Structure 1
Amino acid sequence: MIGSWMKDNVSTKWSEGLRYIQFMKNRAYQSGIKQSPYKALFGIEPRNEDDLRKVIEDDRNVNLTEDSDDNVVEVSNREKVSSSENDIHKARTTAAENLVKQAKKMKATSDKSHPPSNIGDNVTIPIPDVDKGKGDLRNIIGVILQKNDEGFYKVGIKHGVLRKQYGRSEFGICNQTFLEVADV
């Protein structure tokens, strides 16, 4: 976005575009919270770009004040935009509820593509490239020892139990049995 702003404004001073870009990002609709971040924070829709340009022209014109009943944003004594505490609380509550819905939807999608594993299932856990040499194996073969209430799995290997608890998307289920729970 900074690169586009610099090109559009024929400028090499990228820092001058930061407030504009910040405003553009904060006024953009976010599907997770089903509103703009600006509205989630202030309880009102963001002002238009012309108002932003006026603010950018002179940073000294921006004063943020809080009253006991309302939050008031004052710009050069020209305009007052107020939002009641209730509107702000409602916008933030809505944002939080929508994030919870989004998380549940993501979990359901993940559960569809990664069906649950059972205790005793053999699994392959990929070894990160940084932790292995060129001739080392790409995966560790383990066996599921337990599953907790949050859906995380404890995995054992031939030489003991792995410290980390794994999410279902972090391992693949083997079709064959290489290791039994008793072998751990």
Structure 2
Amino acid sequence: MWPEVKIVHGKPTHSQSQGSVERAHRDIEEMLGAWMDENKTKDWPAGIKFIQFKKNRALHSGIGRSPYEAMFGCPARVGQASAGIPHDLMNHLATEEDIENLLKEMEGESNDLEDPNSHGEREDEENTVPETVDAVRTESNEDVVCGQCYTVLPLGEEVNNDGKCFNCERQGNIVNERKRSRESLEKQATKMLKLSKKKFSEVQVGTTVRVPIPDVDRARGSPRNVLAVVGSVEDGLYKLCMCS
């Protein structure tokens, strides 16, 4: 039908830039298979979110930190830290029952705030709270203000040692982590370039070299290597010549 079409039999080849993508796909497939075998299930879509989180919090050698930490500026929260429990209460938890009871209490408090029947109780609390607040404000005569965004913080919140609020501190951590990730990638590229120069020495024009043939492009009975002559060098790349 199309005389210019040429049919090639063999495995598809991938460029070197796609090598890391193929390795990542294979790694995810193996992790998902292990999760399915561990949980005795064939429902692989249900395990994708767990594999995604595990992959994102794993250390990446290129950026020197996990992808989650490079994105959000802090390590991924796992275990009790991911349950939304305040830090001052974590030290008092010893068993799973303590965690369940604390979560039930927190859920009950949130339901009480949304319960319309407790409107009268909230009015009584609101009538007493302003007096305490006014006393504290009058006694200190100062508002806690962030030194970067100049936002007046709510009562009870404090700034860090640098005079920044929690949001400004977190934004600064995100910027620093992304900057360090970029520096790590630049160091990795420099290291790969030095390794390549050390492994492959410079070749003069007219030198005969041996070039290996990829297995996917080599037919049965064909030689594993071909001999070629360096014709010229352009932008660090060698132009090879060979007899047909």
TM-score, with length taken from structure 1: 0.59
Partner of 1:9: 39
Rounded to whole Å, the distance in 1 between the matches of 2:83 and 2:36 is 16
- Select the residue among 108, 111, 130 that pairs with 2:194: 108
Greater C-alpha Rg: 2
Partner of 2:176: 90
Partner of 1:41: 71
Mapping 1:1-184, distance limit 5 Å:
1-50=31-80, 84-149=170-235, 151-158=236-243
Larger RCO, structure (CA 8 Å, separation 6 or more): 2
Higher helix proportion (structure 1 or 2): 2
% identical equivalent positions? 38
Check whether the contact 1:39–1:46 (CA below 8 A) recurs between aligned residues: yes
Higher strand proportion (structure 1 or 2): 1
Rounded to whole Å, the distance in 2 between the matches of 1:6 and 1:110 is 40
Deviation of residue 23 (structure 1)?
0.8
Closer/same/farther in 2, CA of residues 105 and 10 from structure 1, 3 Å limit = same
The unaligned stretches of length 5 or more in structure 2 are: 1-30, 85-148, 150-165
Rounded to whole Å, the distance in 1 between the matches of 2:223 and 2:40 is 53
Deviation of residue 39 (structure 1)?
1.0
Closer/same/farther in 2, CA of residues 30 and 8 from structure 1, 3 Å limit = same
Rounded to whole Å, the distance in 2 between the matches of 1:53 and 1:10 is 26
Q: Deviations over 1:93-115 (max 9, x none)?
A: 21121112112212222322222
Deviation of residue 51 (structure 1)?
6.0
The unaligned stretches of length 5 or more in structure 1 are: 55-68, 70-80, 160-184
Greater mean deviation of Cα atoms: 107-116 or 133-142: 133-142
Greater mean deviation of Cα atoms: 42-51 or 116-125: 42-51
> What secondary structure, in the 3-state scheme, does the structure 2 residue paired with 1:44 have?
coil
The number of equivalent residue pairs is: 133
Closer/same/farther in 2, CA of residues 145 and 27 from structure 1, 3 Å limit = same
Partner of 1:76: none
TM-score, with length taken from structure 2: 0.46
